[in-house]
Structure 1
Amino acid sequence: MTTTELPTEPTVPATDHVLTDLDGHVFTVTMNRPEVRNAWSAEMLTGLAEAWERIDEDEDIRVAILTGAGGTFCAGADLKAMSASRTSGGDDGFTEGLRTRTTTPFEGMLRSRNVTKPLIAAVEGYALAGGTEILQATDIRVASEAAIFGLTEVQRSLFPLGGSTVRLQRQVSYTRAMEILLLGEHLSAQEALEIGLVGRLVPEGTALDEARRLADRIARNGPLAVQAIKRSVRETADMTEADGLQRELEIGMQVFGSEDAKEGARAFAEKRDPVYRGR
């Protein structure tokens, strides 16, 4: 069965605040609170954590896309809900999860979880605070030319707990990372592209279409090879070159001995499209 022949699963909400959709081998996760620019809630982070778990466990899923509903990506934590709950003496769930260091919020925001399959971000509108934080945990990033980025936590005397003080300086230059973290100002999509925070810009309203095009292309590749490449890149990032090359060899040789590797070579010789089964 080819990718285009695979059945389509209708959109089903993981929670009211997260929508998921499996189409062929591509799994799309949509943050769904457009009335508050898809700000994180406890329910949303729970839904995201469940989505990441499914991506890792479901063999039919080869590539995932993360996006936001209503023409915007994510504005981070819901500060209005946090403020209201504190004023009333209650708690908004999100803050309580961070305070008690439960795993769900941190897994949902991809601070303590590394999705094993490629994750593509499709960014429209605002990607602020937690929106820019979760972005750094994705592998490929497509943004609208009108998108706006920024780690604005410091302006509210908050700390970017999504991992940015660790990840950002590894993805852009140290001095640009410190400017972004300490000033808390907005970045245009063009600035984000120039410093390497995103990989490509597209006309407004087309980020998801481009992300899907990339996802479909990746999904046609051998899934074992794709996942092994991501694993090798992640695991060797902080190793010496010698140790990294040794680990790369260990990971890569497992792929070379797979049924899919044999199928790839056989399909090339027979001048046909390969049929990969993840074995």
Structure 2
Amino acid sequence: MEMGKDFEALIGKIEKELYNESNVQAIVLCGEGDKAFSAGGNLEWLHSLSENSVHQNVDTMVQFYSSFICMRQKLPVPVIAALQGPAMGAGACLALSCDLRVAASGGTPVLGFPFTKLGIPSGLGGMYMLQQAGISSTIATEILLLGKTLTGEDAHELGLVNRLVSADQVKDEAHSLAEQIAKMHPVAVRSMIRNFRHGKDHGLVDALYRDAHAQAVCYNRQDWGVGLNAVAAKEEANFDPYHSK
């Protein structure tokens, strides 16, 4: 939640700059360091959600999602995700919400959707973004139901990333792509980005609410935390049956 608030504040600052004589034409979004784009949700925070009511968790998750997805409404320039390493869970959904993606080759895991292994359905618009990415519904369904992690090669073959380079070149390639875009006509670029997003985001708000409600239900089950602990221990979870509380 803290990172979400910081991220949203930064987006607001950039938004003001973009509408106040800024010449920024593209933005590169990357993880700190060289190991990962995002490791996903904070496990301690996720554990603590069991203490809240379902309706409180719905509100919490909608707020959490919005703090990241707001960049699609507030930044009228292309955002390029530099996936030098894994983008897991919410991190993968954030990467998909970017306009373009550069990923590491060599079998590096780059997009992970371990939600069902954690004990929750996908969130932060992950299912919606996969469907909007143009991959078949059968492939998207398998990825999410089995909690798959895609390598750079997998993601590139499915059309989920634009460029595939060695891990140590990902950030440079993302900046190179941004520089190429920055040479294009600024009005044309901003206009097309708005149109691209408008076409994709028509049902995004409803999808985010559905995700929030579905996850909130799981946070209040008695077996919440079993999946988190299993993933942390690199073990297979043993969840309670469907009709359990």
TM-score, scaled relative to structure 2: 0.70
Could you tell me how far apart the structure 2 residues matched to 1:210 and 1:63 are?
Answer: 13
Pair 1:74 & 2:38 matched = yes
- Equivalent of residue 95 in structure 2, options 135, 143, 162: 135
SS at match of 1:58: helix
More helix by share: 2
**2:12 aligned with 1:48:** no
Are 1:144 and 2:86 matched, yes or no?
Answer: no
**Counterparts of 1:212 and 1:112 in 2: how far apart (Å)?**
19
Matched, 1:194 2:157: yes
Structure with the largest fraction of strand: 1
Q: 1:231 to 1:147 in 2, by over 3 A?
A: same
2:193 alignment partner, SS class: helix
> Distance between the aligned counterparts of 1:102 and 1:129, measured in 2?
14
Instruction: Please give the TM-score of this superposition, normalised by the length of structure 1.
Output: 0.62
Distance (Å, rounded) in 2 between the aligned partners of 1:50 and 1:165 = 26
In structure 2, distance between residues paired with 1:215 and 1:81: 34
Cα 1:212/1:107, change in 2 over 3 Å? same
Contact 1:122 1:142 in 2 (8 A): yes
Equivalent position SS for 2:173: helix
Q: Does 1:213 align with 2:176?
A: yes
Contact map agreement 1:107 1:113 (CA 8 A) in 2: no
Asked if the contact 1:123–1:147 (Cα under 8 Å) also holds between the matched residues in 2, the reply is no
How many residues end up aligned between the 2 structures? 193
Aligned-pair Cα RMSD in Å:
2.7
Give 3-state SS (helix, strand or coil) of 1:160's partner. Answer: coil
Matched, 1:228 2:191: yes
Distance 1:215 1:96 in 2: 41
Amino acid at match of 1:181: L
| Matched AA of 1:215 | A
SS in 1 for 2:140: helix
Does structure 2 retain, via aligned residues, the 8 Å contact 1:122–1:141? yes
Q: Looking at both structures, which has the greater relative contact order when contacts are Cα pairs under 8 Å and sequence separation is at least 6?
A: 2
Cα-to-partner distance string for 1:155-196 (whole Å, 9 max, x where unaligned): 111122210122211212111110111100221110010001
Q: CA deviation at 1:234?
A: 2.5
Q: CA separation of 1:49/1:217 partners in 2, compared to 1, >3 Å: closer, same or farther?
A: same
Deviation at 1:215, TM superposition (A): 0.9
Is this contact kept in 1: 2:8–2:70, CA < 8 A? no
Q: Unaligned stretches of 5+ in structure 1?
A: 1-41, 240-279
Q: Is the 8 A contact 2:49 2:57 kept in 1?
A: no
1-side partners of 2:89 and 2:176: how far apart? 27
The residue type paired with residue 8 of structure 2 is A
Structure of higher CA gyration radius: 1
Percent of matched pairs sharing the same residue: 30
TM superposition shift of 1:57: 2.4
Give the one of 125, 130, 138 matched to 1:175: 138
Give the gaps of 5 or more residues in structure 2: 203-245
